[in-house]
Amino acid sequence: MASIYDVARMAKVSTTTVSKVLSNTPYVSAPTKERVLDAMRELQYVPSLAARGLTGNRTYVLGLVIPYDPAFLFGDPFLLEIIQGVEAVANDHDYNLLLSVARQADQRSAYTRLLRTGYVDGAITYETFEGDEAAKKLEERGMPRVSIGYETKDRPLNRVHSDDWRGAYEAVKYLLSLGHRRIGIVSGPAKFMSAMDERMRGARTALAEYGLGLDSDLLTYGDFTLESGYRAALPLLEASNRPTGIFAMNDRMAAGIMRRAREYGLNIPNDLSLVGYDDVPLTILVEPPLTTIRQPGIELGRVATQKLFELINNEIQQFDPIVLPVELIIRGSTAPPPS
Amino acid sequence: MASIYDVARMAKVSTTTVSKVLSNTPYVSAPTKERVLDAMRELQYVPSLAARGLTGNRTYVLGLVIPYDPAFLFGDPFLLEIIQGVEAVANDHDYNLLLSVARQADQRSAYTRLLRTGYVDGAITYETFEGDEAAKKLEERGMPRVSIGYETKDRPLNRVHSDDWRGAYEAVKYLLSLGHRRIGIVSGPAKFMSAMDERMRGARTALAEYGLGLDSDLLTYGDFTLESGYRAALPLLEASNRPTGIFAMNDRMAAGIMRRAREYGLNIPNDLSLVGYDDVPLTILVEPPLTTIRQPGIELGRVATQKLFELINNEIQQFDPIVLPVELIIRGSTAPPPS
DNA sequence: TATAAATAGGGAAGCGTTTCCCTACTTACT
DNA sequence: AGTAAGTAGGGAAACGCTTCCCTATTTATA
């Protein structure tokens, strides 16, 4: 594989000059530059990222860290949207994307390893949990990072997320405005995703506006999988005060609820209204199509990555949280409650 | 960030010894090893991948190359399954995953860049197209690569794919066995995915066994998106000899066909039987649930990556194509044709 | 007991870049 | 005509690691 030496020799210049051409530094004459470029073409020269990384300079690699069990998050089309957004912007900047998915067990290690290894110029972390020591240390060392999702209060900076509070608020308010008064909620894994807290707050606010509180019987939890929605629906449907409307915190769980409702002989939307979250493609496939809250997944990835580049390029030192708007998408799974 | 020098100094040994500890080379005494390990822990030492890569040794990074427009492939849950499989095995080996998604325009460049940059120990390429010069050169230079999908006949080695021929064969044969005789096919982007050729061959074989040929009116093409299935369904449904069964080469397109059929007032499965491909999660969501061919996506990723490691570790030099079995999953979208 | 082999550890080159700092030649002023 | 500033290019160190090749000590073998 051709190295910078080969190029230098062929163009009859020093490696310094080749490097200058590479980085578009001025003070290289046009003809010289041409010769160098020709040589690079001829030799199919590609600079070694390893060597570049070593000089403390750019590595042209971005880390995308998803510190969760793959089985848990990886089934989620929404994640694919985020990756797609990140990838697109990284690609625009000629950057490569290093994917790191920590599992439960070695969560910290995989995460840390990627970031401390000096192989990435910056990182995007998805939904990191509170109190991540490793991440904190990295930032002290100046590793640019932007977080998609919430994070601890210690770090109210450099993060982008969508407006979870409003999403849930809109979802529940819509059900209320249709006339529903007994509203069930199927939340996500609350322990470690603060987005869920935000949504719960939004939901409660909407309820409060109608003078209602959240009945604890009507709150269950799933882990975002369809099956967990199917399971979480059961207590709701069997509750003495069965809800007439359910808000599920993602679409896959909503689909699970839908299936369970069908088994119960409940017609959606006539007997039970259902609102999902994310607006992943499946929402238009199910029958009836799912009313849901649209989260801009690709945009989330894009914005986060754009900001990351601004950090990397030292154009900014930090930025205030960016909140992307969500949107209530009304489809066929919602209707006024049965009288 | 601590370097090997810091560790060496703290443990009062040479960098050579530290390196030996790192690579578990023998001839380091137990107490010395302990001291070194202690120092590494103390300093939170993580070897620089850049430096490692530079010495021509392992980089502990695997490339996953998907040389297609992200918008095209990235919407596909099946792809996520493959990534998940690759990621899992890479992680088992303490490897990181470098994702490269080439777009139409700079297809070759992004692809080449990743692979020639010396940053990866090996690569998995997904559905690469025929006549990829760059890839060929890399292999000559000894860069281990395994391809998921088919490739040119020049390279009948080091690839893993599922049994596309059989999948299509089973799908069509099942429709035939139900009594269907006019069978439409919605294929994928045939120009660059040889899997589609295989499936076409399988479909034709099944038809031939019943003394039938493939009516060219009954073959249309989509690009794997739901919308393209919706579009591709139109000519089939309007054909003078409207098919009673349709085989679509992925589930998303099948969902599009389903929607179109519904608009046409056709009942599935009574008026029209439908078989999809991939068995992505949405198949059980649509109504009726989709009969489909299950492809083992995660397994595909896993096996490919396992083989890649064998190549990287020089345990094998090459391997014959690995063909993973597929499975017909019969659900509710298929029935005997209307009499 | 003498010698060979195994064990333990270190010195230093080299991997391919970038960057700091030189030098030399032009050009543009006074 | 003399000087300062700008332009063009190169030498060489440094980045952090691995590896080749030494040397010295210990253990096993004859």
Listing DSSP states for A273-336 in one string gives: EEE-SB--GGGGTSSSPPBEEE--HHHHHHHHHHHHHHHHTTS-S----EEE--EEE--TT--P
Alpha carbons A99 and A123: distance in angstroms, whole number: 10
- CA-nearest residue to B257 within chain A is A285
Nucleotide nearest to A8 (CA to C1'): D10
The per-residue pLDDT for B120 is 84
The per-residue pLDDT for B2 is 86
The per-residue pLDDT for A149 is 86
The per-residue pLDDT for A37 is 93
Alpha carbons A132 and A128: distance in angstroms, whole number: 8
Return residues 10-39 of B near A (CB < 8 Å).
none
**Residue B108 sits at the chain A interface (C-beta within 8 Å):** no
The per-residue pLDDT for B199 is 94
The per-residue pLDDT for A136 is 65
- Cα first-last separation, chain B: 76
A4 touches strand C (CB under 7 A): yes
Bases along strand C below 7 A from a protein CB: 7-12, 14-20
CB nearest B87 (choices: A1, A50, A70): A70
The pTM is what?
A: 0.85
In the predicted model, residues of chain B with pLDDT beneath 50 are 105
The per-residue pLDDT for B103 is 60
Alpha carbons B180 and B269: distance in angstroms, whole number: 12
The per-residue pLDDT for A321 is 92
For chain A, list the strands marked E by DSSP. Answer: 61-66, 96-101, 122-126, 145-148, 159-162, 183-187, 219-221, 245-248, 273-275, 292-294, 322-324, 327-329
Residue B210: phi and psi, rounded to 5, are -105, 15
Asked if the peptide bond before residue B296 counts as cis, ω within 30 degrees of 0, the response is no
CA angle in degrees (0–180, nearest 5) for B60-B65-B68: 165
Contacts of B78 in chain A (CB under 8 A): none
A240 to A186, A217, A244, B18, B311: CA distances (angstroms): 17, 9, 12, 67, 61
Return residues 233-252 of B near A (CB < 8 Å).
252
Q: Give the closest-approach CA distance of A212 to chain B in angstroms.
A: 33
Q: Give the closest-approach CA distance of B219 to chain A in angstroms.
A: 24
Q: Give the closest-approach CA distance of B140 to chain A in angstroms.
A: 11
Query: What is the mean pLDDT for each group of 10 consecutive residues in chain A (339 residues)?
Result: 90 93 88 92 87 82 77 71 88 83 57 68 77 62 83 74 96 98 91 82 97 93 91 95 95 93 94 95 82 95 95 88 96 94
**Residue A316 sits at the chain B interface (C-beta within 8 Å):** no
Tell me the CA–C1' distance in angstroms for A27 and D7. 6
**Residue B53 sits at the chain A interface (C-beta within 8 Å):** yes
To which H or E segment does residue A252 belong?
helix A251-263
Nucleotide nearest to B54 (CA to C1'): C15
The per-residue pLDDT for B116 is 64
B87 contacts A101? CB cut-off 8 A: yes
The per-residue pLDDT for B244 is 97
